Structure 1
């Protein structure tokens, strides 16, 4: 837009035209400007200790008002998924699955971390560094990679040092072959006690007691209250006896010490993928009210599971792809 230049000889009509043009421009700026209309927003990642900021907009005939209020979630959950450094494809799949899920963030704040031991080669160092730069969701423990030689103890016992006192209400240890439905998990945890709490699929779940040191929560995924995490990090018992089947040994510590008195068995909502296996108390067909499905070892198992739960049902038609 251009304006006529004013000179000493400018006529009154020219001056009026300039004033009118400036008035129109000013009106457009005040009406359309994103700063004035509330379209300009600022966001930041929510840290483990922060509350959730919720913006609400109210409309009237004459005003457009935006007010902000801070909502403290009812609980905070750290979800630690134990995996291996080289399983980049699995982490990519899990990140996509979690990103597509929704849950009530006024009820829960969930921070998801992928957990493994020290890196061992240059490929891992470069590729994992890329993940950290992009997602910042990885915990690397100071240990040699293992399954049942203290990795879970290293993870649980390190958390108070990593996060400080009472940062989270709950910590969930899960396997990377577990499909976790977050909104169902949130609703299930909502009424659980915040102290001395141990939650998962209790083993043994039938009359055959073929496991040592029962009962315990199966390693597919179990939740501990923060006070139990603090106890694990300071007590002599778990420190001196951390080598063994990780889920069995976790239950063993609590059983010997008289801890975790508030126990919640989530059968049949926690279970193993059935496939061609035989049904039992921890392996059965999919159910709509599932919270966690375990032993998804192959991609076709993941595909079958995600199809059952209609994870891709909101896929929109497009000229750019053809997915029947």
Structure 2
């Protein structure tokens, strides 16, 4: 004959169930499931966690570096992939893309398609290849259309966009550290030209590598000012846009952490030194090797029985 449980035991059983349900709901809430009320109907309710995801992501600095180059510069691109792919900046997500205009040769279409399939780091603009007839304008104008509509991506897709030359070595961690205290809006950053000037409001930033915040990118895409003034030295033209529209009022002159390679000496150059963000005019492999060696770029190489490099 079954014995009915006593009331105290039944009460302890109910209390244990109550505590167990409460514990499971709290545990689930850690994994972005919110406990809806105080055991309301004894169930947990899954909430949309887009706000928390956006909050977390918005705290991370996102930087796009567009390296303007030419379709046929295959070896240069592969080398730069090594240079940038072996850097690990702290506190930021940095994407490096190679930028050129429409392809004109069959071999380009095949080989560059393979590059895109493998690396997904190429932007092809709808323009005819040029240096000072609107390529930089086409680059900045295209970015909102390319990145703003990306599904499930944070906004802005990038806090900063940098245009760089393919003969410039950008030290990503130094760049990120220099941006830490700078605003994420209305920023215009770079090496002031002419070389003898230190006034970023009177002059403009060198095409070796200048950076702007995403709101300026969106302004370029929608404003008539860039559309009406396209031709000319691309960095000077860009500076004209900023001056005429009174944009980029938060200006940062990164001189002399950005400079030209010291050989040959010039008013835009000085010797390599540790406090460096970017070195420009690395026109040959010898200059690249000397620069990478000076900054001990290969220091993170791990020891292995598979190789010996003295």
**Both structures adopt the same fold (TM-score exceeding 0.5):** yes
Counterpart residue number, 1:61? none
- Consecutive unaligned residues of structure 2, counting only runs of 5 or more, are 1-49, 149-154
Partner of 2:290, secondary structure, is: helix
Counterpart residue number, 1:129? 113
Counterpart residue number, 1:235? 223
RMSD over aligned Cα atoms: 2.6
Q: How does 1:89-168 map to 2 (within 5 A)?
A: 89-104=75-90, 107-164=91-148, 166-168=156-158
| 1:203 aligned residue (170, 193, 209) | 193
Kept in 2: contact 1:214–1:251 (CA 8 A): no
Kept in 2: contact 1:73–1:109 (CA 8 A): no
| 1:169 aligned residue (159, 168, 179) | 159
Provide the rounded CA distance (Å) in 1 between the counterparts of 2:64 and 2:227: 22
Counterpart residue number, 1:251? 239
Provide the rounded CA distance (Å) in 2 between the counterparts of 1:92 and 1:288: 26
CA distance 1:206–1:116, shift in 2 (3 Å) = same
CA shift, 1:315, in A, is: 3.9
CA shift, 1:206, in A, is: 1.6
Counterpart residue number, 1:278? 265
CA shift, 1:205, in A, is: 3.7
CA distance 1:192–1:145, shift in 2 (3 Å) = same
Counterpart residue number, 2:206? 218
Structure having the higher strand fraction is: 1
- Consecutive unaligned residues of structure 1, counting only runs of 5 or more, are 1-48, 53-69
Partner of 1:76, secondary structure, is: strand
CA deviations over 1:40-95 (Å, ceiling 9, x no partner): xxxxxxxxx9x99xxxxxxxxxxxxxxxxx66543211111111111111111111
CA shift, 1:251, in A, is: 0.3
Write out the 4+ residue segments of structure 1 that deviate beyond 6 Å after TM superposition.
none
CA shift, 1:312, in A, is: 2.1
How many pairs align? 254
| 2:169 aligned residue (175, 179, 186) | 179
Kept in 2: contact 1:271–1:283 (CA 8 A): yes
Counterpart residue number, 1:26? none
Kept in 2: contact 1:178–1:295 (CA 8 A): yes
Provide the rounded CA distance (Å) in 1 between the counterparts of 2:249 and 2:304: 53
Counterpart residue number, 1:3? none
Provide the rounded CA distance (Å) in 2 between the counterparts of 1:73 and 1:112: 20
CA deviations over 1:236-264 (Å, ceiling 9, x no partner): 11101111100000001111111111110
Provide the rounded CA distance (Å) in 2 between the counterparts of 1:232 and 1:71: 25
CA distance 1:111–1:208, shift in 2 (3 Å) = closer
CA shift, 1:230, in A, is: 0.9
CA shift, 1:311, in A, is: 1.4
CA distance 1:163–1:315, shift in 2 (3 Å) = closer
